[in-house]
């Protein structure tokens, strides 16, 4: 028989973050940014991240931040899921993940549980955990990026997953890591007032960098200005790399040298082919992956990217001129974000029409030095996300601290004989 853990012995405040990570790095990097910010703000706080990312161990985390690696699942390009490494079917994997998630939450006993993006988790794997923590009176938060998908796609998806009862009965708050003047991801859904009243827009999550004055010497020892080209995780970014690389191959007079970061999830044969082509050009350097992408971005003169949430936050935070080539499948998210940001003047967007015209890309790269930087566009509250998340968490962790203080106050001291 398994002995039940005595939760009454837990001290200090605790936040648990669920990040399912079935494709790319987006969920993990967002969760990591929130966790690191929280422990920097609160000295007695510990944060635990639940993630299926196969490369979570490559990242650095602040003191008092740790993670539990659950069995990996990968999302295929057709939108279906499959087990990443184990030779078992997806249903067995989900059952195993669900059990690990619930058992971890039972022992860790968080004051706040933040679920990233998927209200019930991958195939409902956090539903039982949500119910358990709700019964304990814990504070349950759904954290959403600024854009999920088009409303036409999101509404039937959430209906199929039976999300509305979970939003209404289980979650205490819904945080949207963006601003309504850029996009309102739930605006067109038929949500009741009880759910709408739970929504708070935090602003985008600001990113910072370490002191990296010499970090780029290995690529550009002459301090030549360079362009950072990144498809994020790289699992579906070969078109972006092909388009930009072909522009450099066709036009030797582009204004910047370039550093290509192919992404850890790009197919090995594609990585090898791109590396061979890059090495033929003197102004081009190529790597597969770097856990400190913020450092590479900070030193860059400009960025060309697909426009996922984290890259967009970094472009804004580091005040970089950027060209975004958004994907449009399996979700329309990146296109919505990029087109709205272009309307505001924050970035330039190029649409991939399947032709990948190198002359069109070369022209955009030549015009990049004339683009405005994001800081030249005034959007109030744009990068206050982490500060607001810290503020939103504070009542629930301070309440626990107050209870502990009152508990000690109520203990009658022993009298001396």
Residue by residue, pLDDT tens for the chain (417 residues) are 344 445 555 568 999 999 987 666 788 989 999 999 999 999 999 999 999 888 888 888 999 999 999 998 877 666 677 788 887 888 899 999 999 999 999 999 999 999 999 999 999 999 999 999 999 999 999 999 999 999 999 999 999 999 999 999 999 999 999 999 999 999 999 999 999 999 999 999 999 887 555 566 677 867 789 999 999 888 888 999 999 999 999 998 999 999 999 988 899 999 999 999 999 998 999 999 888 788 889 999 999 999 899 999 999 999 999 999 998 888 899 999 999 999 999 999 999 888 899 999 999 999 999 999 999 999 999 999 999 999 999 999 976 655 544 443 443 333 333
Token pair belonging to 161? 């997953």
- 212 within a domain of the structure (yes/no): no
Query: Quick one: 24 and 155 in the same domain?
Result: yes
- 287 within a domain of the structure (yes/no): yes
Query: Quick one: 341 and 394 in the same domain?
Result: no
Q: Determine the Cα–Cα distance for residues 82 and 26; give it in Å rounded to an integer.
A: 19
Query: Quick one: 246 and 276 in the same domain?
Result: yes
Query: Quick one: 27 and 165 in the same domain?
Result: yes
Q: Determine the Cα–Cα distance for residues 125 and 131; give it in Å rounded to an integer.
A: 12
pLDDT computed for residue 305 by the predictor:
96
Token pair belonging to 87? 């030779």
- 150 within a domain of the structure (yes/no): yes
- Domain containing 19 — which CATH number? 3.40.50.2000
Query: Quick one: 403 and 285 in the same domain?
Result: no
Query: Quick one: 233 and 251 in the same domain?
Result: yes
Q: How far apart, in Å, do the first and last CA atoms of the chain sit? A: 45
- 216 within a domain of the structure (yes/no): no
Is residue 116 within 8 A of residue 19, CB to CB? The reply is yes
Token pair belonging to 340? 């709205």
- 136 within a domain of the structure (yes/no): yes
Query: Quick one: 53 and 197 in the same domain?
Result: yes
| Residue ranges making up the domain that contains 263 | 226-376
Query: Quick one: 360 and 234 in the same domain?
Result: yes
- 270 within a domain of the structure (yes/no): yes
Q: Determine the Cα–Cα distance for residues 219 and 308; give it in Å rounded to an integer.
A: 25
Query: Quick one: 132 and 280 in the same domain?
Result: no
Is residue 262 within 8 A of residue 271, CB to CB? The reply is yes
pTM, 2 dp: 0.89
- 237 within a domain of the structure (yes/no): yes
DSSP classification of residue 373:
P
Contacts of 157 (CB under 8 A, 6+ apart): 149
Count of domains forming the chain: 2
Which of 85, 83, 106, 104 has its CA nearest to residue 94?
83
Q: Determine the Cα–Cα distance for residues 414 and 417; give it in Å rounded to an integer.
A: 9
Q: Determine the Cα–Cα distance for residues 132 and 193; give it in Å rounded to an integer.
A: 25
Query: Quick one: 175 and 249 in the same domain?
Result: no
Query: Quick one: 330 and 394 in the same domain?
Result: no
- 219 within a domain of the structure (yes/no): no
Query: Quick one: 309 and 367 in the same domain?
Result: yes
């Amino acid at each position: 028989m398994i002995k039940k853990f005595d939760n009454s012995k837990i001290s200090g405040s605790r936040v648990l973050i669920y990040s399912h990570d079935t494709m790319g790095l987006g969920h993990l990097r967002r969760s990591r940014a929130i966790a690191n910010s929280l422990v920097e703000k609160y000295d007695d706080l510990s944060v635990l991240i639940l993630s299926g990312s196969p490369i979570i161990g490559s990242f650095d985390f602040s003191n008092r931040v740790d993670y539990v690696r659950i069995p990996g699942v990968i999302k295929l390009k057709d939108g279906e899921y499959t087990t990443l490494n184990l030779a078992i079917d997806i249903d067995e994997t989900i059952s195993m993940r669900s059990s690990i998630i619930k058992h971890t939450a039972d022992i860790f006993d968080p004051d706040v549980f933040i679920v990233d993006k998927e209200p019930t988790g991958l195939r409902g794997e956090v539903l039982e955990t949500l119910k358990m923590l709700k019964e304990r009176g814990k504070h349950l938060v759904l954290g959403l990026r600024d854009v999920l998908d088009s409303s036409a796609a999101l509404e039937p998806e959430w209906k199929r997953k039976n999300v509305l009862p979970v939003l209404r009965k289980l979650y205490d708050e819904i945080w949207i890591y963006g601003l309504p003047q850029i996009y309102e991801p739930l605006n067109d859904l038929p949500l009741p007032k009880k759910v709408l009243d739970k929504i708070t827009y935090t602003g985008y999550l600001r990113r910072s960098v370490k002191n990296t004055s010499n970090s780029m010497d290995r690529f550009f020892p002459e301090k030549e200005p360079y362009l950072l080209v990144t498809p994020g995780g790289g699992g579906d970014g070969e078109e972006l790399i092909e388009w930009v690389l072909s522009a450099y191959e066709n036009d030797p007079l582009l204004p910047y040298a370039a550093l290509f970061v192919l992404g850890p999830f790009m197919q090995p044969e594609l990585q090898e082919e791109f590396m061979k082509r890059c090495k033929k050009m003197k102004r081009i350097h190529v790597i597969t992956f770097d856990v400190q992408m913020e450092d590479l971005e900070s030193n860059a003169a400009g960025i060309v990217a697909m426009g996922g949430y984290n890259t967009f936050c970094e472009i804004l935070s580091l005040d970089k001129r950027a060209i975004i080539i958004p994907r449009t499948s399996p979700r329309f998210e990146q296109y919505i974000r990029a087109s709205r940001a272009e309307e505001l003047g924050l970035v330039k967007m190029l649409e991939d029409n399947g032709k990948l015209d190198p002359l069109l890309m070369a022209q955009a790269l030549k015009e990049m030095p004339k683009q405005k930087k994001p800081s030249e566009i005034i959007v109030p509250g744009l990068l206050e996300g982490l500060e607001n998340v810290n503020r939103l968490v504070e009542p629930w962790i301070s309440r626990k601290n107050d209870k502990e203080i009152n508990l000690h106050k109520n203990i009658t001291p022993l009298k001396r004989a």
